[in-house]
């Protein structure tokens, strides 16, 4: 009987192991960076997220991304889910929380995503981030390129969510929706307009695209000026056009699963 029970337990364990190859590879890299394994429920939440994005048809559009939560250490959190690892400027271990993500200081701390502004097509681009805590300075979340010019950004290569709502830096295009926690982002698949999402609402905004400049995109701030956020962010994604509502659902489910799984 004991052998049967042991066999049943081994069989049960096979059904709770991540089975998506990309999820397995990502989890292995995070655990190697952390120096210890993740909880089974945490691993399965990541597996479900990746499989869900693939089922929704949005996975291949995600070109540079980090899940800035879930991992046991900041080093593990900066392992890329997709694309090249970001370069860390001034974040330390104490800035990281496994359930809610990484917090900026509104001044010196930011990530260089190492994703170039012109790496994606002019009329197929997205940027998004999951905000756990709103900022009290500059912006709730800021993702952007380093140039001081307002041109050459394809209309969606940096955005701010602040107390006035969603703001995109192409001629000061703005949305009046109040800033809230959760996923915010924008996506363009047309030359004359793009979509913005905040507060679980997607809005269309007319704004002509521009040929993107060759610059790295930063997270928590624009890489070479003083506009930085002290928001707490649990996820970011940069890449080609995708359905923001589908991404919102998948990321929100993932972060909620972390909150339930992590002690």
Q: What is the mean pLDDT of residues 92-110?
A: 94
pLDDT for 167: 47
CA distances from 175 to 41, 153, 198, 225 (A): 38, 18, 10, 24
* Residue 185, domain extent: 2-261
- Helix-then-strand count for the chain, H and E: 5, 14
Range of weakest confidence among 25-29, 65-69, 98-102, 166-170: 166-170
pLDDT digits (tens, 9 = 90+) for 203-246: 887 777 777 778 788 888 776 666 788 889 999 999 999 999 99
Q: Quick one: pLDDT at residue 10?
A: 43
Terminal C-alpha separation, the chain: 34
57 Cβ neighbours under 8 A, 6+ residues apart:
243, 246
> In what helix (H) or strand (E) does residue 125 lie, and over which residues does it extend?
strand 125-133
Rounded percentage of the chain residues whose pLDDT exceeds 90 = 48
Extract the tokens encoding 228.
């930085």
Q: The domain spanning residue 72 has which CATH number?
A: 2.60.120
Q: Which residue has the higher pLDDT, 215 or 128?
A: 128
**Dihedral in degrees, nearest 10, Cα atoms 199, 100, 77, 112:** 50
* Confidence at residue 72, expressed as pLDDT on a 0 to 100 scale: 98
| pLDDT of the residue at 148 | 46
Among 86-95, 158-167, 182-191, the range of highest mean pLDDT? 86-95
Number of domains in the chain: 1
Residue 58 has pLDDT above 60, yes or no: yes
Supply the mean pLDDT for the chain.
82
**Average pLDDT estimate for 47-64:** 98
Per-residue pLDDT reduced to its tens digit, 61-94:
999 999 999 999 999 999 999 999 999 999 999 9
- Which strands sit side by side in the sheet containing 216-219, from one edge to the other? 87-89, 110-116, 216-219, 142-144, 159-162, 165-168
CA distances from 195 to 198, 203, 242, 260 (A): 10, 6, 10, 31
Integer-rounded Cα Rg, in Å, for the chain is 19
- The whole-number pLDDT of residue 33 equals 98
**Does the pLDDT value for residue 183 go beyond 50?**
yes
């Amino acid at each position: 009987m004991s052998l049967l029970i042991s066999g049943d337990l081994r069989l049960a364990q096979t059904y709770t192991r991540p089975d998506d190859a990309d999820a397995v590879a990502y989890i292995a890299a995070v655990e190697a960076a952390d120096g210890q394994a993740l909880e089974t429920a945490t691993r399965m939440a990541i597996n479900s997220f990746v499989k869900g994005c693939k089922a929704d048809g949005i996975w291949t559009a995600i070109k540079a991304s980090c899940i800035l939560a879930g991992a046991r250490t900041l080093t593990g959190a900066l392992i890329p889910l997709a694309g090249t690892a970001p370069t860390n400027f001034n974040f330390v271990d104490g800035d990281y929380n496994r359930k809610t993500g990484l917090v900026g200081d509104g001044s010196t701390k930011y990530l260089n995503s190492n994703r170039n502004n012109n790496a994606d097509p002019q009329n197929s681009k997205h940027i998004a981030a999951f905000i756990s805590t709103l900022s009290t300075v500059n912006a709730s979340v800021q993702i952007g390129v380093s140039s001081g010019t307002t041109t050459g950004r394809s209309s969606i290569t940096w955005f701010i969510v602040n107390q006035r709502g969603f703001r995109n830096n192409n001629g000061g295009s703005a949305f009046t929706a109040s800033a809230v926690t959760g996923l915010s982002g924008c996506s363009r698949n047309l030359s004359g307009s793009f979509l913005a999402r905040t507060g679980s609402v997607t809005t269309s905004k007319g704004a002509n695209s521009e040929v993107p400049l060759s610059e790295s995109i930063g997270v928590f701030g624009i890489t070479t000026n003083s506009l930085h956020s002290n928001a707490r962010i649990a996820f970011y994604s940069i890449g080609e056009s995708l359905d923001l509502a589908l991404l919102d659902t998948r990321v929100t489910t993932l972060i909620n699963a972390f909150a339930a799984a992590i002690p």
